[in-house]
Chains A and B, each alone.
Chain A
Amino acid sequence: MKNTTLAFAFVSPALLFLLAVLGWPLVQAAILSFQDVGVIGSEGHFIGLGNYATILGDAGFWRALGRSVVWVLSNALVQTLLALAAALILNQKFPGVRIARTWIILTWIVPTVVVVIIWRWLLSPSGGMINPLLIQAGVIERPVGFFATREGAMTTLIMINSWRWFPFTTLMMLAGLTRIPGDLYEAARIDGAGTFQRFKRITWPLLQPTLMVLGVVGTLLSFNVFDVIWLLTAGGPSGATQTLPVLIYETAFKGYRLSEAATISVLTSILLMGFAFLTTRAMTAAEADR
């Protein structure tokens, strides 16, 4: 339907709203990053690139960036494996499959704070379910504190976040799987291809576009995760789980260095938008090749 005026009338409320609530603050963050504002509401002066020099010269920033990279990559790996397995199962026909496809997303629709309570309780050394189970299975001898060590805290957080998000990833992959024509599998079967061969030659290559989209969206989404980390470890022990979002939050609202936090925000945005831009371009190029 061609009616440009009407189309703009339909789009502009949403568009203006997003510009005001997301676009304009981004500009404000950029302005703030060139000033020296400390506590919220106080006045600042223009100090040029001073904050950028401070942040880029701060080892804490680079460590947080490193943790974010570890966080994103580990989450991607764990969630992709879990989701692929779950999606392959839910792509079969069995009684109750419709219910399973709907309710698998349960972990994603409950508030994060509920997820936090669930796992704090289950992992708690006194009264939690997980420690006795692991002791019974002979994995450990006495109750362990899952958030006590640096590596333990990070690993546990990654597992909990993956538990929350892998059902979402599963549904996305399921969408990709249902798009693969059933005839291909039939033909392969007639040619005598086994289950593994069919997966390797048909499922895996045809799932690539889905996996690439998920790679981009998933990276951005898991990069942004803040509440699970904040509520479970608050970035600890001794900073071991302090990713960039946690660092921004702490710098602004615990350290009262607003301009520095804005600077980290701007650097983070540049990083993420650069990533999104480059990967979508690579994807478009890959599609053109096909």
Chain B
Amino acid sequence: MSRALGPFAAVLGRDLLLAWRGRADVLVTLAFFVVVVCLFPFGVGAEPNQLRAIAPGVLWVAALLSTLLSLHRLFAQDHADGTLEQLLLTPEPTVLWVVAKICAHWIATGLPLLIVAPGLALLFDVEQGALGVLVLSLALGTPILALLGAVGAALTLGLRGGGMLLALLVLPLFVPVLIFGAGAVDAYLSGSGAQAHLLLLGGGLLGSLALAPLACAAALRIAVE
């Protein structure tokens, strides 16, 4: 067991270190999130009731788009410099370090979104009680986006126009997450309680944690072949 944890910890630590050294990229993703959210009032008007109504959806769509924007970075560098080949030749199961990479990616790109989301929600005058639900829904939902997105990123690795293709592949898969994520906040605000939505998101997280790394590992093997 400890033998298997070694590579997991090595990949997680290295990717976090890389994210820290390349923190400009991380900040760009975060800035994108903020800018997209701030664009909506200009598009739909500054009527407070309307803004309050669309806030959960806006925040969730923006989180989804910024996740999408960062996905191509997940394997691209390792693919280009040969690290991916070396990782595929490690004796331990491929899914292990795939999960480590996705974890590190989520900590670098998903976690910052959770931190700034409540502040942005206040710009839309969202009731303060709903902020916790918003953060919780993002905490459960964005890892699913990262897991599903990793499969798409692995499949489109090294392809011309890979970014666009990646969006086409994964956006339909993101729809259920968007529905339950934004729906959780809406449900809380309408008084019916967000528990069902959050439970479904949690179930989705477990399901994608079990299946997506397998598909991702298979896709990576195909990509280097």
Do A and B form a real pair? no
